[in-house]
Homo-oligomer: A and B are copies of this chain.
Amino acid sequence: MAAKARMLIFLGDGMAGRPLPELDGRTTLEATDTPSFDRVASEGACGMLNPISPGVAAGSDTAHMAILGYEPYEYYRGRGPFEAKGVGLEVNAGDVAFRCNFATVENGEVLENRAVIDRRAGRIKERTDELRQTINQQIPEIDGVKVLFKESVEHRCALVLRGEGLDEHITDVDPHAEEPTDYHECKPLPGYEEDEAAKRTARIVNQFVERSRKALNGHPLNQAREADDLKPANIILPRGVGTAVELEPFAERYKLSGALIVEVDLVRGLGLYLGMDVVTCEGATGGDDTDELAIAASVVSTFEDHDFVLANIKAPDLGGHDGNVEQKIAAIQKVDRALGYVLDNMDFDRAVVILAADHATPISVRDHSGDPVPAAFFGYGVTPDDVQSYGERACAQGYLGHFCGSDVMSILGNYAGAGEKYGA
């Protein structure tokens, strides 16, 4: 059935939270003046969204998977494939993929030395494509497994292993430490010590790391960097492993032309993995300085040739992670302004939006939490309720009750007339 209305999922990343004494027991959302949020809540249908299920703190990837209707407990096997896809690597079902960093190991030529003195290789910015070419030439395969490798921005890169008998139940190589720390040997996860595929995959990862050292040590770019007193990118540290699974493309599943406008690479990679159009928006920085009106304008213009858009503004999550009330409030105001622009420039007699967050990032937690987040549907087909403002406790009184991330596409499709009847 063709949809009767356009569909928009509009997310303030990590926007929900918990009450704070310094805000007289209000959450940052409750304490912030958000006229556009409140308009949507008061004219629409509200409820509470558990991104995964009650109490479970979602990552960016699992939250967006669930909200797009791909049940993470069924389909999620690690972030690596989305990272690799975001970097532009080809990823096939069955591949094992990793996010990686170019990093600096002390005395690169001494293989026994494993001390990482900078896990971002001096935040290297340029000419990493030359390093990639060397890696691709020197490490085309390991033990019959095809090796795909590509650089991203700055120190970031990604790795794909393609072959039989691989498994993602292995540990990170990256030590995740700012101080000099030995990088880890990749090992099967506890419980997988005797798993042949996990053992083999760990062996291949360790060989890749060692061979990356040999390939990059003395590389012309690194010689130039050392001459300039810059840290050499003389090792590649994999982490965030995942196995690529078969996911039905978004367009096939929903018969919708869908686009993502998001500021997080991982979510962008998920969108690419689902075959969605990932729109690049000039001015979307992913930081507190992002141009929220540019994002809003991009949402409006993307609907010119799409039925469905998911937009996510990252800033509120940053304030939550930083535990900074003023920062988070300013970011929430940005999201509200962006929504205001969308409300002013789209016809909601022919569109329906859900305003929500992908998860809570409470100031008091400084990380994602498993709290429910407020949600408000507004526009075509929606039954308004009595909720008058958008906030954690206000929306809990709404008509839609509590629902899960994986219900969002069904509820949105129901309002938009895009759902198919299940049964006769």
Chain A residues close to B by CB (< 8 Å): 18-19, 25, 27, 48, 52-63, 65, 72, 76, 79, 240, 266, 364-365, 367-372, 381, 383-386, 392-393, 396-404, 407, 409-414, 417, 419-424
Contacts and interface: CB of A to CB of B under 8 A. Distances in A.
A409 to B, nearest CB: 8
B410 A55 contact: yes
A47 to B, nearest CB: 8
A396 B384 CA distance: 12
A266 B423 CA distance: 11
Contacts of A63: 423
Closest 5 CB pairs of A and B: A59-B423, A62-B423, A55-B410, A401-B402, A370-B414
Contact of A423 (B79, B365, B369, B371): B79
A397 B390 CA distance: 18
B399 A399 contact: no
Contacts of A368: 421
Nearest to A61: B423
Nearest to A78: B424
What's the dominant secondary structure at chain A's contact region?
A: loop
A364 B25 CA distance: 41
A56 B414 contact: yes
Given A63-B423, A370-B414, A407 B19 contact: no
Number of copies: 2
A28 to B, nearest CB: 13
Considering residues A61, A372, A396, which has the most beta carbons from chain B within 10 angstroms of its beta carbon? A396
Contacts of A365: 381, 417
A396 B393 contact: no
A352 B368 CA distance: 19
A391 to B, nearest CB: 11
Contacts of A76: 423
A424 B59 contact: yes
A392 B403 contact: no
Contacts of A369: 414, 419
A171 to B, nearest CB: 15
Contact of A419 (B370, B384, B409): B370
A371 B384 CA distance: 12
Considering residues A399, A400, A421, A424, which has the most beta carbons from chain B within 10 angstroms of its beta carbon? A424
A357 to B, nearest CB: 14
B422 A54 contact: no
Given A72-B423, A419-B370, A423-B72, A407 B48 contact: no
B393 A56 contact: no
A407 B54 contact: yes
Contacts of A411: 54-55, 370
A407 B370 CA distance: 11
A412 B381 contact: no
Contacts of A266: 424
A367 B393 CA distance: 34
Contacts of A414: 55-57, 369-371
20 contacts: A25-B384, A48-B399, A53-B407, A54-B404, A55-B410, A56-B422, A57-B419, A58-B423, A59-B424, A60-B424, A72-B422, A76-B423, A364-B381, A365-B417, A371-B383, A372-B400, A383-B393, A385-B393, A392-B399, A396-B399
